[in-house]
Amino acid sequence: MSASMTAQRPDPDAAAPLPHDASASRRSYDVDALAEEIVEKLTYSIGKSPARARKYDWLRAVTLTVRDRIIDHWLEAEDARAASGGKQVAYLSMEFLIGRLLRDAINNLNLTTQVAEALKRYNVDLDMIELLEPDAALGNGGLGRLAACFMESMASVGVPGFGYGIRYVHGFFRQEIADGAQVELPENWLLHGNPWEFERRERSYEIGFGGKVTSVVGEPGKPPRQLWRPAERVLAVAYDTPIVGWRGAHVNTLRLWSAQALDPILLDAFNSGDHIGALVESNKAEAITRVLYPADSHQAGQELRLRQEFFFSSASLQDIIRRHLETNESLSNLHDKVSIQLNDTHPAVSVAELMRLLVDVHGMEWDEAWEITRQTFSYTNHTLLPEALEHWPIHLFERLLPRQMQIIYAINAAVIRQAMESKGFDGGRIAAISLIDENNGRRVRMGQLAFVGSHAVNGVSALHTDLMKETVFHALHELYPDRIQNKTNGVTPRRWLMEANPGLTSLLKETIGEGFLDDISKIRDVERFATDAGFRDRFAAVKRENKARLADVISERLAISVDPDALFDIQVKRIHEYKRQFLNIIEAVALYDQIRSQPATNWTPRVKVFAGKAAPSYLQAKEIIHLANDVARVINSDPAVRDLLKVVFIPNYNVSLAEIIMPAADISEQISTAGLEASGTGNMKFALNGALTIGTLDGANVEMRDHIGEENIFIFGLTASEVAQRRREGHSGRSVIEGLPLLRDALHAISSGVFSPDEPNRYNGLVGNLYNNDWWMIAADFQSYWDTQRRADALWADPAEWNRKAILNTARMSWFSSDRSIREYAADIWRTGTDA
């Protein structure tokens, strides 16, 4: 690190750790002690008496009280880790969609009853307090939420892990719907401060950008050393949040980096009267961590995004190296002590940056550094969508990261040489593996960089992993046939069953005992109750209560009344063409049409629920939101439908809303075009909570079918290979649509303005795409989807049978716990231990 410390920089030596005696500080878990401490926090940390305290003061006081109990475990975990010298995992992710933390912490410490009891003494309701906590939305969707589930599971199964990411000041935008259309508003989760985080100013690092590289003559017999002199430098400051695992057994750290200017104000400029100019640098520096990019399907190549990626990668690597050198003599055993997981390619520049730190800064030989780098990194791919794969224009990369660019060229040359020598690769296959895309204006391909810089590369479901081998990484897989493996995603049962569905959790405890809380595979014991009529009724009663709770939310937020006894058919996720919310909406329109034209038929009352955000620049996705809202307005106000069909779009989908929605579904919609959804994780949350899935053979749906049994899931539509085949044949929707009056009429209604009388042509483009191209196979899959929905209707008419299948879903979903995923990563990729 440079010696040019500014007044801001604390002296790291001043923070020498003192020995910690955990037993001395352990806090009591009983109600009296908790009640007393909550008031103590209120008085001495917040400065309020209980009589004057407002809701947010209680939230803060409870959080601080619970936090103290985690800190005991946290410090112990740190000490134990330092003493053991064992291997750690660093999970590098641009996104951590953690949501609220209080309920998670209280549940994992098994403190729910005691804290609720303690608060009751002051007439304060814990449930109400928990709802005040802002949602930490530092992520877009699946990838970010997976990182959060993984952090919780690592702490639960005992993998010593560090999460490394970005402390965005503004997380994912707040969505409102105005006149049917999405409006984006800034999110401000830090407004009332964040009691969970600890600023660690002693953990700060300088991050460089731009400038020049000069060659310096090395020692005799050694190659010249490259010296990078960045033109700009920014400080990365760590903020730590403890992540507590189940029963408080382990506590890991989520370390998020915040950008600060080295000089908060340019005094010379200020003194000479340039008051704005004096702040320009600090604004530019702080912009790096100010806002989360709200797109997850399109890589637009903005410079700020590349700055964010390098900023958090470099800070994390510098931190990893510094921690390593605190207890090790050199970096030559780095890969024995740390495993770095790259969550998608967003931190892939780390491969070049670690090489720079090892070779240029720590003087290691190139070959040794390369070996250590590869042994240290592993990479998870989360999407095959070509438009989402990251690649950066060379001129931008070179200007911002000149030394890393040189290193990438050197890595590329070595990989290509090896491919030619060992496997006889030629033109086409060399172009396929090259880290540089020569065809699109010369770009650095981050997927290729992450792949060659890692010892293991994984997909997130069996199908996705197969497709990785066949498509984007085909040539690299040929060159390194042992590198790709599968790690199917999972979700944490603590948040997604115990906390989100306390009713079902109590019922399960009463029925099969508490063993499943510690070992989710024991949930399978409930399978034998699927044929027990008494149990089925109780299971159905829990579901009904959860539906009533969601109905209340819908009524409060949208003033729409829905009947909890209707079939709740729910699709919640990011809005994307490939996720096919459009297919679901067309089915609603066709159903509407049928109900009107055949009023005497015994239709199943349905509530179709949608929620999800569109990237602000993704126009088609925004049109889909608009259409859902337009269709909802017309159907919900048509007396001819007689409450047989309701359509609801709930605004501002986030983790907290998901916690209410997942337990309230009868049908879970997982209807992506086959081959496009890498895994899905919402599919798992729904099924664990007893929803029946209607889905394509895509992502993890395939494995869910295998576990749940094909008779307990509604599978429809083209398979991934059939989709690929149709696309090769140049499929277009026109002939399909013309042969299906139901579909044709529904599309005609949409495109003729039945749902948008104020702008009849609003959906011409959307519908026209189906006729001309049908890239996402919506027309191609419509009939199969419609028929399958009607099969669901028929099953709904037999509640005993429906509930039996729902119970089997809950009983058979334990494999999709993120504890299982983490154990697999630990065993096959990280080679770290777990508790069990």
Question: Which residues bind to ligand 26V, rule: CB under 6 A?
Answer: 140-143, 146, 293, 295-296, 299, 344, 382-383, 388, 390, 460, 489, 677-681, 699
Active site residue 487: no
Contact present, 245 and 154 (Cβ < 8 Å): yes
| Both structure tokens of 129 | 């307090």
* CB neighbour burial string for 444-477, b if at least 16 within 10 angstroms, e if fewer: bbbbbbbbbbbbbbbbbbbbbbbbbbeebbebbb
Which of 573, 731, 812, 820 is an active site residue? 573
Which of 576, 579, 804, 820 is an active site residue? 579
d(CA 560, CA 641): 15
- Least spacing, CB of residue 507 vs ligand 26V, in Å: 28
* Nearest one of 252, 300, 231 to 90, comparing CA atoms: 252
The SS3 call for residue 110 is: coil
Which of 73, 233, 574, 731 is an active site residue? 574
Residues present in the chain in total: 836
Which of 241, 345, 681, 696 is an active site residue? 681
d(CA 151, CA 254): 8
- Least spacing, CB of residue 458 vs ligand 26V, in Å: 10
The SS3 call for residue 178 is: strand
- Closer of 146 and 779 to ligand 26V (Cβ): 146
Which of 100, 145, 335, 382 is an active site residue? 382
- Closer of 629 and 672 to ligand 26V (Cβ): 672
* Nearest one of 7, 93, 64, 108 to 498, comparing CA atoms: 108
Backbone angles phi, psi at 756, to 5 degrees: -140, 60
- Least spacing, CB of residue 516 vs ligand 26V, in Å: 24
| Both structure tokens of 709 | 């049994």
| Both structure tokens of 611 | 């929620």
- Least spacing, CB of residue 18 vs ligand 26V, in Å: 41
d(CA 189, CA 195): 12
- Least spacing, CB of residue 681 vs ligand 26V, in Å: 5
d(CA 434, CA 413): 9
Active site residue 573: yes
Which of 685, 705, 820, 823 is an active site residue? 685
- Closer of 194 and 689 to ligand 26V (Cβ): 689
d(CA 396, CA 286): 20
- Closer of 467 and 632 to ligand 26V (Cβ): 467
Query: Which residues 6+ apart lie within 8 Å of 747 measured at CB?
Result: 586, 737, 767, 770
- Closer of 65 and 454 to ligand 26V (Cβ): 454
Query: Which residues 6+ apart lie within 8 Å of 619 measured at CB?
Result: none
Active site residue 681: yes
- Least spacing, CB of residue 316 vs ligand 26V, in Å: 18
Active site residue 579: yes
d(CA 209, CA 311): 9
* Nearest one of 440, 454, 448 to 476, comparing CA atoms: 448
- Closer of 146 and 813 to ligand 26V (Cβ): 146
- Closer of 97 and 657 to ligand 26V (Cβ): 97
- Least spacing, CB of residue 294 vs ligand 26V, in Å: 8
- Closer of 143 and 627 to ligand 26V (Cβ): 143
- Least spacing, CB of residue 636 vs ligand 26V, in Å: 31
Query: Which residues 6+ apart lie within 8 Å of 578 measured at CB?
Result: 385, 672, 673, 676, 677, 776
- Closer of 146 and 590 to ligand 26V (Cβ): 146
**In the bound complex, which residue of the shown chain has the CB atom lying closest to ligand 26V?**
142
Q: CA 169, 174, 176 angle in degrees (round to 5)?
A: 160
DSSP 700: T
H helices present in 85-210, as ranges: 102-108, 112-120, 126-130, 142-157
Contact present, 767 and 746 (Cβ < 8 Å): no
- Least spacing, CB of residue 740 vs ligand 26V, in Å: 29
Query: Which residues 6+ apart lie within 8 Å of 23 measured at CB?
Result: none
Cα 323 from chain centre: 27
- Closer of 554 and 678 to ligand 26V (Cβ): 678
- Least spacing, CB of residue 293 vs ligand 26V, in Å: 5
| Both structure tokens of 189 | 């989760």
The catalytic residues are 382, 573-574, 579, 681, 685
